[in-house]
Amino acid sequence: MATDYKALKNGGFMRQVQKHHFSLRLKVVGGNVTAEQLFTIAEISKQYGRGYVHLTSRQGVEIPFIQLKDAESVKARLEMGGVNTGVCGPRVRTVTACQGAEICPSGCIETYGLAKEISARYFGRELPHKFKNPYAKNSKHPSQQGVNMR
């Protein structure tokens, strides 16, 4: 049976240079990950990857060197640990956000709650082109994430 690389990509699996290896993009809303989720990610990285993760410039986490034969097992283990896979291709991507008023002394609104709401409604929807959602509102750096929410 032929491998459906488009379906893998839509589910967050990005092909690597090494044959039958993928970097798996994870869903990390607003850059927030719990300690339990970090533990799950680390364990999967050790068991199925090479023991490390990549922290992206868009507040994401990717686990490189996942083998094609392990894709379904990895997804199941992540789900059991409360971690969801991200998406690639022409879809609404993971929502990024600054720390917001709950944590940042310069924050004006609670951006993480907004990021969770928007993610719940739109994440993964298919579009003609990829769509990235950055949210920030900080009186000192209002366009820090690329969006000025004045």
Return all residues near 72 (Cβ < 8 A) that are at least 6 apart: none
User: Over the stretch 35-77, which tens digit does the pLDDT of each residue have?
Assistant: 999 999 999 999 999 999 999 988 999 999 999 999 999 999 9
Rounded to the nearest 10 degrees, what angle do helices 71-80 and 35-48 cross at? 160
User: Is it the case that residue 14 has pLDDT exceeding 90?
Assistant: yes
* Domains along the sequence of the chain with CATH: 5-80 (3.30.70.3340), 92-135 (no CATH)
**Alpha-carbon torsion (23, 120, 124, 141), positive or negative:** negative
Where b means 16+ CB within 10 Å and e means fewer, 136-150 reads: bbbeeeeeebebeee
**Contact by Cβ (8 Å): 86, 60:** yes
User: Is it the case that residue 149 has pLDDT exceeding 50?
Assistant: no
Nearest Cα neighbor of 46 from 72, 59, 60, 64 is 64
